[in-house]
Amino acid sequence: MSNRTIAITESIYKYLCDHSLREDKVLVDLRNYTFSMEERAMQIAPEQGQFMQMLVKLIRAKNTLEIGVFTGYSSLAIALELPEDGRIVACDVNPQYTSVAEKYWVSAGVRKKIDLRIGPAKDTLLELINDGLTGTFDFAFIDADKINYDHYYELCLQLIRPGGLITVDNVLWGGAVSDDAINDVDTNSIRALNDKLHQDERIELSLVPIGDGLTLAMKRN
């Protein structure tokens, strides 16, 4: 009974979670651990993780990319849905964060599915391209330094197969993207990518108001 997306109040959010979330215990444990950290805001929302799990299932993803691991919640969620021979090439620059991730990957029995690459993600993605893996990945999740979002998108677009899906996190940036008075580098970088993707004829596009905004970009044939 609404011709636009409704505002999510605390009571509606609680209802949404109570009637939707089917979170594995290991994901709950990792989320609770991360919530104790000062940087807890960097973790995705659990309902977003579950939504991404469904996307991976729908496109029958096997080979995936993750740009930005943090403590590993999103990679763990995706790995749980991949087939036994599936894999995630997971890129991050902070081994302190990823050491937490690895503990939970091992606990969940998915460590073998995750190829963790510590170093600049641009370098890792270029290595994959140079190794002849263009067009061989099914799914990508970008959630790292915002100033490089456009670079990550373009490299992922090369690596993703036609019909594959690139997802980009934080595209609403707490609402800052809609406030013309906010012009810091991160906000402007996200705005620029949002504007670019809206006009990009290489993809099918949807910006979903889940978490902090999640863009779905499906590569056209």
Q: Where are the domains of the chain?
A: 10-219
Residue 219 in this model has a pLDDT that exceeds 80:
yes
Structure tokens at 211: 């978490």
Identify residue 161 by its one-letter amino acid code: R
CA neighbours closer than 13 Å in the CB half-sphere of residue 212: 18
Q: How far apart are CA 95 and CA 198, in angstroms?
A: 35
Q: How far apart are CA 101 and CA 40, in angstroms?
A: 14
Residue 1 in this model has a pLDDT that exceeds 70:
no
- Residue 58, pLDDT score: 98
How does pLDDT run across 63-75, given as a tens digit for each residue?
A: 999 999 999 999 9
How does pLDDT run across 50-65, given as a tens digit for each residue?
A: 999 999 999 999 999 9
Mean pLDDT in residue range 26-46: 95
- Residue 2, pLDDT score: 82
How does pLDDT run across 96-152, given as a tens digit for each residue?
A: 999 999 999 999 999 999 999 999 999 999 999 999 999 999 999 999 999 999 999
Sequence-ordered alpha helix ranges (H) in the chain: 10-18, 25-35, 46-58, 73-81, 95-108, 121-130, 149-159, 185-199
Q: Work out the mean pLDDT of the chain and round it to a whole number.
A: 97
State how far the alpha carbon of 20 is from the alpha carbons of 13, 42, 47, in Å.
10, 22, 8
How does pLDDT run across 160-199, given as a tens digit for each residue?
A: 999 999 999 999 999 999 999 999 999 999 999 999 999 9
- Residue 163, pLDDT score: 98
Superfamily, domain 10-219 = Vaccinia Virus protein VP39 (3.40.50.150)
Residue 221 in this model has a pLDDT that exceeds 70:
yes
Q: How far apart are CA 119 and CA 124, in angstroms?
A: 7
